[in-house]
């Protein structure tokens, strides 16, 4: 019987993995490559395989992709006709990218959807109606993913909601919490706090009824706490520590002796810095305050003089009024953004006329137009009253 002959291939003839296959099999190397890609490419590459999806959606990858600080790259400006829509202003006038959205249509809501707050890449949104039932959502405009918040067990006609605030810090945790301030059912003329956690689930009460005199509709998350202030009248403040679930009072900046009346023109957070601007109208020279992390005091971080901008854009001045009248200058401070470098800090102004927004560098004092759309006086007032919302790119899950 003739023996069976078996040909054993030489080593060179064996199928060798390609360079691409070698790279794809080493997670650390693959992650380093993915970190150099723009967000739009990462969103596409999530569909390559389940393995790539798990890498890109991992919270640790999101932190690596957007290291702290992660400054905002644009603003959503609300514009209401019948249903809410949003204009978009990119902070880089040379990078006219497509807006993330013009209308929020991630789910069908008959009245449309509006934004309540922007927090480190996530948007807290709600139905655009006054009467119940109102739906609340947390939406990531980068990934287009959202979640609908559950109904509160305190949701009755006698327990009106005065404000919701989102607390989210991707450096600390991929989870977020929502703080709701509503009327107390047990104590008339008092408030009650409810908390929703994306990690633990349903709404629950936090603490007992309390009294306060602040604007709960404009909460700002910073340093592990939600902060509220009164924007007119007596300047009061309140903060709520998320981890300790405790309320406290924060000091307010001193009012200069030459200020007759004070208006809080800006209160917000950027790149882990809390800022406040108070102006005595009509003034276009003012200080930008920053809060110390231990809450010991506000200190002057920047000094601002907008006279050069008022000269360059005459529509910023109501020349038919007396220069000492409150409404002589017409502008709104839309945003204050800290960059990865100190010299990158800038402020965004809304003024009427042939431009929607002005970028004013707080260090070099230079300025530039961000867009050329015409804006009316009433829109500038509306931006100041209703607020605008920062866009921060994020891959975080909701």
- pLDDT of amino acid 272: 94
Residue 36 lies in a domain: yes
Mean pLDDT of 375-398: 71
CA distance 367 to 348: 9
**Residue-averaged pLDDT of the chain:** 84
Q: Write out the two tokens for 112.
A: 């449309």
Question: In the numeric block, which tokens belong to residue 188?
Answer: 């008339």
Percent of the chain predicted with pLDDT > 70: 83
166 and 32, same structural domain? Answer: no
Residue 4 lies in a domain: no
* Integer Cα distance of 178 and 330 in angstroms: 35
Across 7-16, 79-88, 222-231, least confident range: 7-16
- Is the model's pLDDT at 263 over the cut of 90? no
pLDDT at 289: 96
Domain assignment of residue 171, yes or no: yes
Of the pLDDT bands very low, low, confident and very high (cuts 50, 70, 90), residue 14 is: very low
Two tokens, residue 155: 């949701």
Place of tokens 């000492």: 324
Sheet with 176-183: list strands edge to edge.
161-168, 176-183, 191-197, 201-210
* In a domain? residue 10: no
- pLDDT for the residue numbered 233: 56
Q: Are residues 162 and 27 in the same domain?
A: no
pLDDT bin (cut points 50, 70, 90) of residue 92 is: confident
pLDDT at 8: 47
Same domain, 32 and 177: no
87 in the same domain as 146: yes
The closest of 295, 248, 287 to 265, measured between CA atoms, is: 287
Q: Same structural domain for residues 52 and 114? A: no
pLDDT at residue 193, as a whole number: 96
Q: How many domains does the chain have?
A: 2
Tokens 């009245």 belong to residue: 111
Considering the domain boundaries, does residue 334 fall inside one? yes
Please tell me which residue, 383 or 358, carries the higher pLDDT value: 358
Give me the pLDDT at residue 6, please.
Answer: 46
Higher-confidence position of 8 and 64: 64
The pTM assigned to this predicted structure is: 0.86
Same-domain check for residues 72 and 145: yes
Provide the 3-class DSSP secondary structure of residue 371: coil
> How far apart (Å, rounded) are the C-alpha atoms in residues 94 and 126?
33
DSSP 322: -
- Measured in degrees and rounded to the nearest 5, phi and psi for residue 308 equal -60, -35
Calpha distance 398→59 (Å, rounded): 11
The residue-averaged pLDDT of 72-84 equals 78
Lowest mean pLDDT among 56-70, 275-289, 315-329, 357-371: 56-70
Residues 184 and 244 in one domain: yes
Burial 142-181 (b: 16+ CB within 10 A, else e): bbebbeebeebebbeeebebbbbbbbbbbeeebbbbbbbb
What is the gyration radius of the CA atoms in the chain, in angstroms?
25
Task: Give a yes or no: residue 3 inside a domain.
Answer: no
Q: Residue 96 class from Cβ within 10 Å (0-12 exposed, 13-18 middle, 19+ buried)?
A: exposed
Q: How far apart are CA 369 and CA 372, in angstroms?
A: 7
Point out which residues pair with 337 in neighbouring strands.
346
Same domain, 148 and 28: no
Sole residue written with tokens 């007596």 = 234
Pair 157, 243 in one domain: yes
DSSP state, 12?
G
Using DSSP's 3-state secondary structure scheme, residue 395 falls into coil
Look at the chain and count its residues. Answer: 398
Q: Decide if pLDDT at 360 tops 90.
A: yes
Same domain, 53 and 176: no
Q: Helices H, strands E: what count in the chain? A: 7, 23
List the structure tokens of 382: 């509306």
Higher pLDDT, 391 or 63: 391
For residue 350, list its beta bridge partners. 332
Check residues 295 and 232 and name the one with the higher pLDDT: 295
Instruction: Give me the long-range contacts of 21-29 (CB less than 8 A, separation at least 24).
Output: 27/55
pLDDT the model gives residue 232: 61
Q: How far apart are CA 195 and CA 369, in angstroms?
A: 41
**Pairing label, strands 246-248, 285-291:** unpaired
- Domain of 282 in residue numbering reads as 65-389
- Examine the pLDDT at 179 and tell me if it is beyond 90: yes
Contacts of 125 (CB under 8 A, 6+ apart): 104, 113, 114, 115, 116, 136, 137, 138, 139, 146
Task: Put residue 25 in one of left, alpha, beta given phi > 0 → left and psi -120 to 50 → alpha.
Answer: alpha
Same domain flag for 194 and 272: yes
Q: How far apart are CA 206 and CA 193, in angstroms?
A: 5
Average pLDDT in the 106-134 region? 88
In this structure, is residue 17 part of a structural domain?
A: no
pLDDT reported for residue 325? 82
CA distances in angstroms from 132 to 104, 135, 251, 386, listed in the order given: 20, 9, 36, 21
The CATH number of the domain holding residue 209 is: 2.120.10
- Provide the pLDDT for residue 1: 46
Q: How confident is the model at residue 166 (pLDDT cuts 50, 70, 90)?
A: very high
Greatest mean pLDDT range, 55-59, 186-190, 357-361 = 357-361
Same domain, 201 and 231: yes
For 193-231, what is each residue's pLDDT tens digit?
999 999 998 999 999 999 998 989 999 999 999 999 986
- In angstroms, rounded to a whole number, what is the distance separating the alpha carbons of residues 91 and 268? 17
């Amino acid at each position: 019987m003739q023996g069976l002959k078996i040909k054993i291939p030489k080593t060179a003839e064996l199928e060798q993995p390609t360079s691409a296959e070698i790279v794809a099999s080493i997670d650390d190397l693959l992650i380093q490559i993915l970190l150099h890609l723009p967000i739009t490419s990462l969103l596409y590459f999530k569909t390559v395989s389940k393995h790539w999806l798990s890498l890109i959606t991992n919270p640790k990858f999101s932190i690596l992709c957007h290291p702290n600080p992660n400054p905002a790259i644009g603003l959503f400006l609300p514009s209401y006709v019948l249903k809410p829509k949003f204009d978009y202003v990119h902070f880089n006038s040379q990078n006219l990218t497509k807006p993330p959205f013009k209308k929020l249509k991630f789910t069908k809501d008959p009245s449309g959807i509006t934004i309540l707050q922007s927090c480190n890449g996530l948007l807290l949104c709600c139905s655009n109606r006054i009467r119940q039932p109102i739906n609340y959502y947390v939406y990531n405009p980068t990934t287009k993913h959202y979640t609908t918040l559950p109904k509160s067990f305190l949701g009755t006609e006698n327990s009106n909601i005065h404000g919701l605030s989102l607390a989210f810090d991707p450096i600390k945790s991929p989870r977020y919490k929502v703080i709701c301030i509503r009327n107390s059912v047990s104590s008339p003329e008092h408030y009650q706090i409810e908390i929703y956690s994306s990690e633990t689930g349903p709404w629950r009460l936090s603490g007992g009824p309390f009294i306060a005199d602040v604007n709960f509709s404009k909460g700002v998350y910073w340093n592990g706490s939600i902060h509220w202030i009164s924007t007119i009248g007596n300047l009061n403040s309140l903060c709520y520590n998320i981890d300790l679930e405790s309320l406290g009072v924060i000091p307010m900046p001193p009012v200069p002796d030459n200020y007759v009346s004070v208006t809080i023109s800006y209160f917000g957070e950027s790149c882990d810095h809390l800022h406040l601007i108070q102006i005595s109208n009509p003034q276009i020279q003012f200080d930008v305050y920053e809060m110390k992390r231990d809450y010991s005091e506000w200190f002057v971080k920047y000094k601002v003089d907008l006279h050069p901008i008022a000269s360059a854009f005459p529509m910023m001045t109501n020349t038919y009024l007396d220069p000492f009248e409150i409404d002589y200058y017409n502008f709104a401070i839309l945003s204050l953004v800290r960059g990865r470098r100190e010299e990158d800090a800038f402020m965004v102004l809304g003024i009427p006329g042939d431009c929607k927004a002005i970028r004013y560098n707080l260090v070099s004092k230079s300025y530039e137009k961000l867009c050329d759309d015409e804006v009316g006086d009433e829109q500038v007032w509306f931006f100041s009253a209703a607020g605008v919302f920062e866009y921060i790119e994020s891959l975080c899950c909701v």
